[in-house]
Amino acid sequence: MEAQKSATFQSLSENVGQFSLRDKTLLIPEMNRISAHLLVGVFRSFGINALVMETYKGLDLGKEFTSGKECFPCQVTTGDILLFLEKEKERLGNDFVPEDYIFFMPESDGPCRFGMYNKYQRIVLDSFPELRGVKIGSLTSEDSYALKGMIEKERTRDFRKAAYFSIVIADILDRLLWRIRPYEKEQGATDGFIERSMMTMADHFESYGAKKDFDTILDKLEAVIEEGKALIDPDIPPKPLIGIVGEIYLRTHVNSNQDLIRMLERYGAEVVNATIAEWVNYTTYDKVREAKVGLRLNLKQFRFDKAKSYLKQVLSYGGDLLYQHIRLDQAYKRVKPLLDLAGDHRIAHLEKTLIKNDLYSFELGTEACLSIAGIMEHVHDGYNGIANVYPFTCMPSTITSSIVRPIMNRERIPYLDAPYDGSYQPGREAGIRTFMYQAYQHFKRRGRKKHG
């Protein structure tokens, strides 16, 4: 999905605050499993009846009701909502009331097609007379289907803070999974442990999210990390370290990427995927950046009224970004002394990396900003291989590939483009094995970055 100019938590709170649907069910699509469940915990703590929909099982429906030209995440999410509603109709029979449901689908005003997903899905739902009453709640949408009055205006800032924190904690749980699983003492133990921990943390967000009692949430997270550490077999030596970048939906939705991380692990890798918080921070950072450009331009032209409004935006988005950094640092400071998990880069640092290497500009936007800079950071940090994961035909990821491939060849760092569209390619596993063989050679030649 498109990151540039997409809904930040600023717009989330502003828009969520306008709507009112406390007696409805909010349907959250499962992009990243852990973050979806933790976000549901946050919604529930604010009195919203939210649930995570099953994912990927409705792909046939998604394909049936799309033309094939859409991005793959659009097909997956369309299938998710259609299958969910079909099952609800079966379960409830005549008691099925479409107005009771709101499908939660963010939108974007950037250059990609993501901004069109929810509009297209509106057309699909409207093509079934019995589903016309199902609303689509969009973070930045101004249409009348929106989530009316879901959260009181005065609580929207608190909601935004808790939602952001849930994303940070979900990222840490994912990093814990990728840190433990390649070194687990007992095969399969990590998956069960992380699933249980996810539910525990979701319950904690439900109990403490609205109160913003983040210390209690972090206390529980510490206990989870301690428990997870005990699953690691200290006698298993470090493995080649693989970094994953790419399009946010595909790299975090394990069904869509055919569980790429697990497959890489099967062939000897330890993997670090880019976080979701990075994407959220990027969208906020970009708002600050754009407001600064507007401020400078208007000051130069002596348009002080407009400059004043841009200054307000700089301060407002800047305050949000500062808050996000404080929470991010708070969480990682608590967990890093316990276990050497990978951290997150500051977006300003990533922009500097792009400028220094003269590779791409934040002016152009899109997730390519994060992916290209993220790859350069991995190169600098001594990763043994890098995978770029994306939906087939994804524009920003194709740009990323075209820019970084020559660099990876020059630096002799194994690089894998991993596009997905739901089909199973017979040669994919062989490609991954070859990539891992190269990564292992790199690891033998140059060693690897230390954990953390």
Q: Which residues bind ligand SF4 (CB under 6 A)?
A: 1-2, 71, 73, 112-114, 247, 367, 391, 394-396
User: Among residues 53, 8, 24, which one has the least CA distance to residue 150?
Assistant: 24
**Are 385 and 356 contacting, i.e. CB atoms less than 8 angstroms apart?**
no
Residue that has been written with the tokens 């951290």 in this structure: 343
Select 371 or 438, whichever has its Cβ closest to ligand SF4: 371
Query: Least distance (Å) from ligand SF4 to the CB of residue 3?
Result: 7
- Distance CA(19)–CA(26), nearest Å, equals 12
User: Among residues 165, 258, 255, 251, which one has the least CA distance to residue 213?
Assistant: 165
Select 180 or 250, whichever has its Cβ closest to ligand SF4: 250
Query: Least distance (Å) from ligand SF4 to the CB of residue 117?
Result: 8
Query: Least distance (Å) from ligand SF4 to the CB of residue 108?
Result: 8
User: For strand 385-391 and strand 415-420, is the pairing parallel, antiparallel, or unpaired?
Assistant: parallel
Query: Least distance (Å) from ligand SF4 to the CB of residue 113?
Result: 4
Q: Which tokens belong to 400?
A: 């990323």
Q: Which tokens belong to 127?
A: 């093509």
Query: Least distance (Å) from ligand SF4 to the CB of residue 80?
Result: 16
Query: Least distance (Å) from ligand SF4 to the CB of residue 368?
Result: 9
**Are 347 and 281 contacting, i.e. CB atoms less than 8 angstroms apart?**
yes
The H or E element spanning position 379 is helix 368-381
Select 42 or 112, whichever has its Cβ closest to ligand SF4: 112
Residue that has been written with the tokens 């390649």 in this structure: 182
Select 217 or 394, whichever has its Cβ closest to ligand SF4: 394
- Distance CA(339)–CA(354), nearest Å, equals 30
Query: Least distance (Å) from ligand SF4 to the CB of residue 4?
Result: 9
Select 221 or 394, whichever has its Cβ closest to ligand SF4: 394
Q: Which tokens belong to 163?
A: 């939602």
Residue 48 phi, psi (nearest 5) = -100, 130
Select 74 or 176, whichever has its Cβ closest to ligand SF4: 74
- Distance CA(433)–CA(260), nearest Å, equals 12
Query: Least distance (Å) from ligand SF4 to the CB of residue 101?
Result: 24
Select 58 or 391, whichever has its Cβ closest to ligand SF4: 391
Select 269 or 418, whichever has its Cβ closest to ligand SF4: 418
- Distance CA(118)–CA(120), nearest Å, equals 5
Q: Which tokens belong to 132?
A: 């016309």
Query: Least distance (Å) from ligand SF4 to the CB of residue 405?
Result: 18
**Are 210 and 152 contacting, i.e. CB atoms less than 8 angstroms apart?**
no
Select 298 or 400, whichever has its Cβ closest to ligand SF4: 400
Minimal CB distance residue for ligand SF4: 112
User: Among residues 331, 341, 41, which one has the least CA distance to residue 214?
Assistant: 331
